[in-house]
Amino acid sequence: MSFGGFRLLRQLGQGGMGKVYLAEQESLQRKVAIKVLRRDLAANPTALARFQAESKTIAQLSHANGIGSRRGQ
């Protein structure tokens, strides 16, 4: 499955808010992890705000082996 320039390769895990996938960012040909919010929570303003706050926190992190954040379309 592909979306937004990313091709999902396999599921890495899941939690209460959604699933995390190993994916390839097709434009840069690099492996990334993508967290996908559960569909039912995406319609819940409180859950969506929590997910967005988590994304903002992750986006502020910087490390050579680190993670980044990209908001879904």
| Residue 70 clears pLDDT 60, i.e. is over it | no
pLDDT tens-digit readout, 8-26: 999 999 999 999 999 999 9
- 60 contacts: CB under 8 Å, gap ≥ 6: none
Residue 27: count of CB within 10 angstroms of its CB: 8
Domain boundaries, the chain: 2-59
| Residue 5 clears pLDDT 60, i.e. is over it | yes
- End-to-end Cα separation, the chain, in angstroms: 16
> For residues 12 and 25, what is the distance between their CA atoms, to the nearest angstrom?
16
| Stated pTM of the model | 0.74
Is residue 49 within a helix (H) or strand (E), and if so which, with residue range? helix 45-59
> Domain 2-59, what architecture?
2-Layer Sandwich (3.30)
